[in-house]
Structure 1
Amino acid sequence: MNNILFTCLVGAAVGLGVFGLIRALMPSKRSPVSTIARVDALRAAGPTAGPVGSAPTDLRGRIGERVVEFYLQQGWEQRSLRADLAVLDRSWQGFLATKVVLGASGLIFGPFLFAVIWQLGMGSNPVIPVWMALLCGGVFFVLPDVEVRRDAADKRKDLRRVIGAYLDLVSMNLAGGRGLPEALMAAAEVSDGWALMRIRNCLADARITGTSQWVALGRLGDELGIEELKDLSVTLGLVADDGAKVRESLASRAETMRHRELAEIEGSAGENSQSMLVAQLLLAAGFLVFLIFPAAMRVFQV
C-alpha cells in the first residue's frame, strides 16, 4: 500500500511539473501591458533587436520569454535584480529561464534523491519525496539570485573604485583647459577596462542622441544601481556652466569616495581580525577541554 501511494505521489509531482513547463511554453494572448513593455524593451535594445512579433527559436529562449511575460502581467519589476544583471551584463530573459530550468531540475532531483535513500533502507514515509521535491525546487530556484547579488556586489566595488579615479582624471582635464564634455570623454578613453568602457559607451550614445552627458551618466547610474553616478549627474547639472566649481566638486567627490573606500577596507580588515580571534579562542577552548577531560573523568568516576 505504501509503495502504491509513494508511486502515485511521485507521479503526481512529476506530472504537475511537466504540465507547468508545457503550459509556460504554450502561446497565449498577450495583454496590452505586456505588448507595450515589449515594444519599450525592443526600443531600448536598439536596432539589433528583432521585430516585435518575433520569438526565440531555442527552448531556453522560449522559456525566458514566457517567464518575462508572466512577470510583466503580475507587475513584478525586480529593479534591484535587474540592476545587478545590468552590472554583470546579463540578460533578464536568460536569467529567468535559468531560474525556471533549475527549479524544474530541483523538482526532479528531490524524489530522485529520496529514491536513492529509500533503496538504502533509510526512509519509508511516502510523503517525504513531495517535500523534498518542493524544497529542492525552491532552493534551486533561488540559487541564481544569490549568485547574481554576490557577483554584482563585488563588481560594484570595482566600479566605484574606477569612478573615483575617473573623477580625478576629469578634474585634471578640466584644469588643462578642456570643456566639460571633452573632459568627460577624454577621461573615459584612458583605459579599455569594462567600467570605463560602460562609461565611454554611455557618453558616446548621449552624443549621438543629443542628450547631455551628465543626464546620460545619471541614467547609467540608475540602470546599474550606482548612487555615485546619479549624484554626479545631479551635481554636474547644477554647476556645468562654471568650470571652477566643476573642478572643485569633482575633486571633493573623488576624495570622499577614496575615504569611503578606505573605511570599507579597514572595516573588512577588522572583521577578518575578529574572525581570526574567534577561531583562536575556539582552538584554545578545545585544547583546554582536551587537557581537562581525563582529569574530570577520573574525578567523576571516584
Structure 2
Amino acid sequence: MSSLVLVMLVGAVVGTGVLLLVSVLDRSPVSGPAGLAQIDARRERGARTASLTADRRHRDESVRLRKVGAGVSDLLAARGIKLSSSITANLGIVGQSRETFLARTLLAALVGMFVPFIVLAFPLVTGMFGTPVIPLWLALLGAALGALMPWAQLNKDAEARRRDFRHVVSSFLDLVAMNLAGGRGVPEALQAATSISDGWAMVRIRDTLEAARLQGTTPWAALGQLGDDVDVDELRDLAAALALVAEDGAKVRDSLSARASSMRRKELADAEGRAAAQSQSMLVAQLLLCVGFLLFLTYPAVARVLGG
C-alpha cells in the first residue's frame, strides 16, 4: 500500500509539472486585441509597482515569486481573465503586487492539493481504510481551500489598513483646511499637510502628489486616482472639493473641516460597533463555559438515572 501511495504522490507531482510546463511553453499566436491587452497590462503593472513606494514590503518580495506571478498574469491576460476591482483595490491599499498575489495563490493551491495526501498517508499505509485511493474531489477541494487562503488574508489586511488610511485622511483634511485658511494655494497647502507625518498612509499621499508634480498632472486628479486605486471614497471627495477650489474659486475650508469631523464621528461609531461585537462574543464564550460546567455537574446524576 505504501508503494501505491508513493506512486500516487509522484504521479500528482509529475502531472502538475507537465501542466505548468505546457502553460509556460504555450506560445500560440496572439491576436491583435490580445497583444494590445498584454501591453496595457504590463504598462499598468509598471505603474502599480512604481506607486508602491510608501510600502516597503513590496521591496522584500521574492524575485522568483514575482517572475512566476508575472507568467501567470500574462497567461490570464492572454485569455481575457482579469482580477476583480475589489482585489485590485485591496492589493493597492496593502502594497502588494498582483504578480506576488497570483504566485502565492498558485503556491497555496498546490500545497492545499497535497494536504489530503499528507493527512491520509498514515491511515492508507496502515490499512485503516478499505481502499488506498484518495478521491480526486478531495484533492480539488484542498486546492480550492488553499487558493482561498491568500484572498482571505488579503481582505483582512486591506480592511485594517483601509481603516487606518481613513483615519489619516481625516487628519489630512483638517491640515489642508488650516493651510488654506492661512492663505496658501492648493498645491502648497497639500504639500505642507503631507510634511507633518512620516506614517505609511501620509507618505503614500505625499508620493502621489510628488509623482503628479513630476508628471505635470493636477494634485486633485492624482488624489482622485489614488482614491480609486485604494477604494477610499474620502479621497475622491477631497479631489472633487479641491477641483472646485481651483476651477471655481470656491471656499471649501469649512466643507473640509466638516468632512473631517464627520469622518471622525463615523470612525468612532465603527469603533463602538467593533467593541460591542467583541463584547457579544465574550458573552457567548461565557455562556458556553456555563453550559459546559452545568453538563459537568449534572452528568453523574443523569448517567446514574439512565444506568439504573
TM tier, smaller:
0.7 to 0.9
Change beyond 3 A, Cα 1:271–1:27: same
Of the structure 1 ranges 83-92 and 2-11, higher mean CA displacement relative to structure 2 is found in: 2-11
Change beyond 3 A, Cα 1:296–1:97: closer
Structure 2 equivalent of residue 54 of structure 1: none
Q: CA RMSD in A?
A: 2.7
1:139 aligns with 2:139: no
* Cα drift, residue 227 of structure 1: 1.5
1:278 aligns with 2:284: yes
SS state at 2:93 partner: helix
Structure 2 equivalent of residue 19 of structure 1: 18
Q: Is the 8 A contact 1:221 1:227 kept in 2?
A: yes
Structure 1 equivalent of residue 207 of structure 2: 201
Structure 1 equivalent of residue 90 of structure 2: 84
Q: Structure 2 counterpart of 1:152, which letter? A: A
Structure 2 equivalent of residue 65 of structure 1: 70
Q: Structure 1 counterpart of 2:25, which letter? A: M
Structure 2 equivalent of residue 52 of structure 1: none
Of the structure 1 ranges 163-172 and 85-94, higher mean CA displacement relative to structure 2 is found in: 85-94
* Cα drift, residue 247 of structure 1: 0.5
Q: Is the 8 A contact 2:165 2:201 kept in 1?
A: yes
CA distance in 2, matches of 1:243, 1:193: 31
1:95 aligns with 2:101: yes
Of the structure 1 ranges 266-275 and 230-239, higher mean CA displacement relative to structure 2 is found in: 230-239
Which runs of 5 or more structure 2 residues have no equivalent in the other structure? 51-62
CA distance in 2, matches of 1:65, 1:34: 16
Structure 2 equivalent of residue 37 of structure 1: 37
1:223 aligns with 2:222: no
CA distance in 2, matches of 1:167, 1:127: 62
Describe the superposition over 1:18-53 as per-residue Cα deviations: whole angstroms up to 9, x where unpaired: 22111122151444344323433444426x99xxxx
- Scaled by the length of structure 2, what TM-score is found? 0.84
CA distance in 1, matches of 2:80, 2:42: 20
The counterpart of 1:257, out of the listed 252, 258, 263, is 263
Change beyond 3 A, Cα 1:286–1:189: same
CA distance in 2, matches of 1:298, 1:10: 51
Which runs of 5 or more structure 1 residues have no equivalent in the other structure? 50-57
Alignment of 1:149-228 (within 5 A): 149-228=155-234
Q: Structure 2 counterpart of 1:20, which letter? A: L
Between the two structures, name the one with larger relative contact order (CA 8 Å, sep ≥ 6): 2
CA distance in 2, matches of 1:126, 1:253: 64
Describe the superposition over 1:87-112 as per-residue Cα deviations: whole angstroms up to 9, x where unpaired: 12111112112222222233334324
Change beyond 3 A, Cα 1:4–1:288: closer
Percentage of matched positions with identical amino acids = 42
The counterpart of 1:110, out of the listed 104, 108, 116, is 116
CA distance in 2, matches of 1:108, 1:119: 16
Q: Is the 8 A contact 1:14 1:107 kept in 2?
A: no
Describe the superposition over 1:47-73 as per-residue Cα deviations: whole angstroms up to 9, x where unpaired: x99xxxxxxxx7544432221123222
Q: Is the 8 A contact 1:13 1:130 kept in 2?
A: no
